[in-house]
Amino acid sequence: MGRILVTEQIAERGLQALRDAGHEVDLRLDLTPAGLLEAVAGAHALIVRSATQVTAEVLEAGRDLVVVGRAGLGVDNIDVEAATRRGVVVANAPGTNSLSTAEHAMALLLSQARNIPQADAALKAGRWEKSRWEGTELHGKTLGVLGLGRIGTLVAQRANAFGMRLVAWDPWVSRERARQLGIEMLELEELFEQADFVTIHLLKTKESVNLIGEDLLARAKPGLRIVNAARGGIIDEAALAKAIADGRIGGAALDVFAEEPTTESPLFALDSVVVTPHLGASTTEAQDKAGVVVAEQVVLALAGGFVPFAVNVAASEAAEAVQPFLPLAERLGSIFGGLIDALPSTVEIEYHGQLADHDTRILTLSVLKGLFGGMTAEPVSYVNAPQLAEQRGVEVRETKTSTVQDYVNVIVIRGGDHSIGGTLAGVRGEARIVMLDDHSTEVPPAEHMLVIRNDDTPGRIAVVAGALGDAGINIADIHVGKSPQGEGALMVLAVDQDVPQEVVERMLRSPGIHSVHPITT
C-alpha cells in the first residue's frame, strides 16, 4: 500500500475510496513550492487540481511517484513530458465537468435573454422596473454554436428543446456528424450573419485568441447576443464592449475572461452584460465526480493495472520493434492536422515494410493522438483518441503491406486531398518526412514548418527565402519535391519560428506561388 499526497481539496468520496483501497492519504493543503518539494518525497501518488504546479523539479523530488492524478480536465500545470521520461503515469478526470459547464452556458443564455440578474439587482435595490427589463424568447431564434465537442453538443441538445434553430462552426466536425445532431454547419462569417445568439465552446489556441473581434462583430446580425463559458481571450473584450455600447451587439453573458481573476472590465459597466466568475465547473456534482474518478485512476495505477484516463503511455506497452516509431507517428498526425483545413470523413493509415509484420494498433493511436491534439480542449490520450474520431464522424482505416521501395519502414497518413509519409532514417533513427501530398521530399519534422505549392520555374525558392529573411525567420531545412505528374513543385521548409500572416501574404503575391501553408505543431 502506498502514501498518496493530496495538495488540493477533492471530494470526500474520492479520499475515502483511496483509504478503502488500503492507501495512506496525506492531505496537505496550501503548500508552498518549497513545502511541496519536501512533502512529495516518499509519496507514491500525487493528486492535484489546477493550482499545484507539478514541475520537473517536483517529479525529481518525488522519486517514488508512480502516478500524478489531476482532479479535473486540463493538465497544463503538470510537466507531462518530464513525468513520461521518469515513467510516471499522468491521469486526469475528463468529462466530469461537461454537464455542469453546459448547464451553466444555458443558464447564462437564459439570464441574458430575460435580463434576470439585472431585474434581480434592481428589485433588491427597491426599484420595480418591469418595463425596463423586457426580454426575448429563445423559441424560433437561431443559436450559433462555436465548437461541437462534448460541451457544445450538450448545449445544442438543450437548446433544441427550447425550439431553437441550430447552426454551428467547427472545422473538425464532419457535416454528416452535424446532420445527425440536427445541426447545420456554416462558415464562421455566415454563422454570425444569421445567429440571434452565439455560444462559444472552443479550445483556446493561437488561432482562436481574439477570434471574435471588431471585424467579425461588424458582420454580425444586429442585436446578436454572445455567451462564453469556454475560455477567456477568444473574444476581444474591448471590441465587444464597444460593439455593445454602439448598439450593434445586443449583449453578452460571460463566465470567462482574458485575465483571471479580474474585477475590472469595460464590459462590467454595461447593463446588457451578465457575468460570473468562472463558475462553469463549480457544482457539487462536478467536483464530486472529479474526485472520485481521479481516485479510481490512482488506485488502478498503484495496483499496476490499466489506467483508462492516462494522458501519457509508456513505450514499453508497444512491441520493441514498434517503440521507436511512436514519436514519429504522433508527429506525423500532428503535422497532418495542421495541413488539412477540415477533418476528412476517412483517415487512412498505411504501414509499409517491416512494420507491417507487427501489431501497429498503438501506432494508429499515436497518429490519432497527434491529429486531435490541437483540435480539442481536452487532453488527448491513447484511450480517448478513437472516441474523438467517432464523435467527429471520422472513419479510421489501417492497412499494411510488406512492399516498400526506398525505405525499410514508412508510415503514411491519407485523408481528403492530403497525405504525409514519414520514416526513421540512419543508424540513429532520425525522423524524416519522405512524402507530402504525394510529392517526394525528405526533411526532418519541426515545430514550425511551411508547405508551399508553386510552379516548377526558376526563382521561386529565392522569393520564399527573401520573404523569410526580411522577416528575420531562419530556415533550418528545406526540400523541394516534384509531383509524380511533374506539373508543379512543392517546397517543405522547417523554420525556427511561427510565420506571421503578413509574410504568408507577401509570398502569395509573388507570381508562381499558388499556396502557402504554415504549420505549427
Spatial CA neighbour of 105 closest among 182, 201, 170: 201
Mean pLDDT in residue range 343-361:
90
- Locate the domains of the chain by residue range: 3-95+284-302, 98-275, 317-520
Could you give the CA distance from residue 147 to residue 227 in angstroms, rounded to a whole number? 13
Mean pLDDT in residue range 349-366:
88
Of the CA atoms within 13 Å of residue 348, those in its CB half-sphere come to 11
Do the beta carbons of residue 256 and residue 228 sit within 8 Å? yes
Q: Residues with catalytic annotation?
A: 231, 260, 278
What band does 379 get if pLDDT is binned at 50, 70 and 90? low
* Residue-level pLDDT at 315: 43
Spatial CA neighbour of 349 closest among 386, 375, 313: 386
User: For the structural domain made of 98-275, what CATH number should be given?
Assistant: 3.40.50.720
- SS3 annotation, 219-262: CCCCCEEEEECCCCCCECHHHHHHHHHCCCEEEEEECCCCCCCC
What value does the CA radius of gyration of the chain take, rounded to a whole number of Å? Answer: 25
Statement: residue 375 has pLDDT above 50: yes
* Residue-level pLDDT at 76: 78
- Judged by DSSP in three states, 134 sits in coil
- Residue 227 CA, chain-centre distance (Å), reads 20
- Judged by DSSP in three states, 103 sits in helix
Mean pLDDT in residue range 509-518:
90
User: For the structural domain made of 3-95+284-302, what CATH number should be given?
Assistant: 3.40.50.720
Per-residue model confidence as pLDDT tens digits over 27-46: 999 999 999 999 999 999 99
DSSP H or E run through 495: strand 489-495
Statement: residue 130 has pLDDT above 70: yes
Whole-number mean pLDDT of the chain?
Answer: 90
Statement: residue 221 has pLDDT above 60: yes
* String of DSSP letters for 5-24: EE-S---HHHHHHHHHTTPE
Common-topology check for domains 98-275 and 317-520 = no
* Residue-level pLDDT at 239: 97
* Residue-level pLDDT at 390: 85
Of the CA atoms within 13 Å of residue 367, those in its CB half-sphere come to 25
Per-residue model confidence as pLDDT tens digits over 423-439: 998 878 899 999 998 88
Statement: residue 316 has pLDDT above 50: no
Spatial CA neighbour of 490 closest among 521, 442, 456, 443: 456
Percentage of the chain lying above the pLDDT 90 cut: 62
Per-residue model confidence as pLDDT tens digits over 147-184: 998 899 999 999 999 999 999 999 888 888 899 899 99
C-alpha cell at 347: 483517415
CA distances in angstroms from 317 to 238, 333, 372, 426, 472, listed in the order given:
50, 20, 21, 25, 43
Could you give the CA distance from residue 274 to residue 256 in angstroms, rounded to a whole number? 11
CB-count exposure of residue 407 (10 Å: 0-12, 13-18, 19+): middle
Per-residue model confidence as pLDDT tens digits over 82-116: 887 787 889 999 888 899 999 999 999 999 999 99
Statement: residue 226 has pLDDT above 60: yes
**CATH fourth-level superfamily of 317-520:** D-3-phosphoglycerate dehydrogenase; domain 3 (3.30.1330.90)
- Judged by DSSP in three states, 172 sits in coil
Do the beta carbons of residue 23 and residue 299 sit within 8 Å? yes
Do the beta carbons of residue 375 and residue 337 sit within 8 Å? yes
Percentage of the chain lying above the pLDDT 70 cut: 96
Statement: residue 14 has pLDDT above 70: yes
Statement: residue 291 has pLDDT above 90: yes
| 498 DSSP assignment | P
Residues 6+ apart with CB under 8 A from 396: 346, 347, 349, 364, 368, 386, 389
Phi, psi (5° rounding) for residue 393?
Answer: 70, 30
Do the beta carbons of residue 450 and residue 491 sit within 8 Å? yes
CB-count exposure of residue 161 (10 Å: 0-12, 13-18, 19+): exposed
CA 148-151-152 angle, to 5 degrees, is 35
* Residue-level pLDDT at 517: 87
Statement: residue 374 has pLDDT above 80: no
Mean pLDDT in residue range 387-410:
86
What band does 365 get if pLDDT is binned at 50, 70 and 90? confident
Statement: residue 317 has pLDDT above 60: no
Could you give the CA distance from residue 128 to residue 447 in angstroms, rounded to a whole number? 59
Spatial CA neighbour of 401 closest among 338, 466, 354, 458: 354
Q: Which of 231-240, 375-384, 477-486 has the highest mean pLDDT?
A: 231-240
